[in-house]
Chains A and B, each alone.
Chain A
Amino acid sequence: MKDLLDLYLAFFKIGMVNFGGGYAMLPLLEEELVKKKHWTSMDELMDYFAIGQCTPGVIALNVSTFIGHKKKGTAGAIASTIGFLSAPIVIILLIASFLTNFADLPIVKNAFAGIRVCVCILIIQAILRLWKKAVVDKMALALYLVIFFLAAFSKQLPISLPAAGLVIMAGIFGIFFRREQNGTGESESKAGTGGSENKPDQGGSKTDEGESKADKGGNKPYEGNKKLSESETEKRGTEREDAGK
């Protein structure tokens, strides 16, 4: 029970100061949950954000649910999600009842013009800290650049690609590309992510089960893999076009 209250309060605090949307939450999560409480790692946060982007619902809530689940299962997920919701609900109820012209007040406008500058810097610093862990080689860098360009300038491009589609394609690309260079790539990824969580070693029996299942389902693509990898770049292009339609 105390754990659930801890989760609720931690996310209540974050919800109260989370200005500027889902990704602006990252620096706050880092400070509260990674540095202070050690409930999660930056690697995991990054994974949660990627999944939160391509599943339905508000990204910040999705990330809250993930962390709550990791800490305390279903009850934890509910506690952290409601914790994150609480402050915004109260604030909007107050504004809706008393301050109908809230957003037009000069002091509010000025304060938030200042806050946006700070949010911008917080995001940049979070990116700098995450960079080494995510962009582990040249291929990952290329992936980053392509997706960044498509996401940041989506309004200027003739076809707009949904952000969720971009993230899903990156995941699919990862599955195919990693298979192509099995030996070196695999050890690199372990070095990259193994620092904070010993993922590969945990729960050996479960892992074996998972692999055998995945192999049963994925026999065909595994056989045809070498052919696929040759036309990898072409395929990537057509996939992206399909998603655009």
Chain B
Amino acid sequence: MNMSILRLMLDFFKTGLFAVGGGLATLPFLYEMSDTHGWFSHADVADMIAISESTPGAIGINMSTYAGFKTGGIAGGILASLSLAAPSLIIILFIASFLDKFKGNKYVERAFYGLRPASIAMISAAGINVAKTSLVNVPALQEGNFAAFFSWKAILLAILLFFAQKKVKLHPVFFLAFAALIGVIFRFAE
């Protein structure tokens, strides 16, 4: 058992080191791991995508916890997740101390002039992706059913939340909980 946990940690360390660009970038690595070691099946990965969408936390972390748990129990789950997090932790520490040193450097400032709009563009793209799965029904459009394209219940809730957030100063968690409740009451998934 010890050997397989070591192997598992090594593989998730590798994934953490080479998967650039967030959670979904870990998927190819997970499929490869499934093929070579059989710690989990492709169907498990698909399930984990669904679970990751319905729990907090990034898919990479969730998958490493799940695979680690299957291989080595609770300790395995924790160790695999930490292995995934370790490489980026080290890399970010290097970059952070570099930035401290070069704070105010004109080349760094210029780079950030370009990085900031890029950062917002990425956030906007992420927003569009969430909107695609929550406010509209893309498959309906492909079938030519325009009436079913807009999820009216969801759009109404979105408008309500948008203005409520401007009026009422509450922690975002309250709005998330409210949206979850509305989703259950009005059966948003149907």
Which A residues lie at the B interface, using CB under 8 A?
A: 15-24, 26-28, 31, 43, 46-47, 49-62, 65-66, 69-70, 74, 77-78, 81-82, 85, 87-89, 91-93, 95-97, 102-104, 106-127, 130-131, 133-136, 140-141, 143-148, 151-152, 162-164, 166-167, 170-179, 185-186, 189, 193, 199-203, 206-207, 209-211, 214, 218
Stretch at the interface among B2-10, B30-38, B170-178: B170-178
CB distance from B175 to the nearest CB of A (A): 5
Q: Do the beta carbons of B116 and A214 come within 8 Å of each other?
A: no
Set of chain A residues within 8 Å of B47, measured between Cβ atoms:
103
| B interface SS class | helix
Set of chain A residues within 8 Å of B129, measured between Cβ atoms:
152
Q: Tally A-B pairs: CB < 8 A.
A: 401
A89-B134 in contact given A61-B85, A113-B154, A170-B117 (Cβ < 8 Å): no
Q: Do the beta carbons of B117 and A109 come within 8 Å of each other?
A: no
Q: Do the beta carbons of B114 and A57 come within 8 Å of each other?
A: no
CB distance from B25 to the nearest CB of A (A): 8
Set of chain B residues within 8 Å of A27, measured between Cβ atoms:
172
Set of chain A residues within 8 Å of B113, measured between Cβ atoms:
136, 140, 174, 177-178, 185, 189
A91-B183 in contact given A115-B176, A147-B122 (Cβ < 8 Å): no
Find B74's partner among A53, A93, A174, A202 (CB 8 Å cutoff): A93
Q: Do the beta carbons of A172 and B183 come within 8 Å of each other?
A: no
Q: Do the beta carbons of B85 and A81 come within 8 Å of each other?
A: yes
Set of chain A residues within 8 Å of B148, measured between Cβ atoms:
none
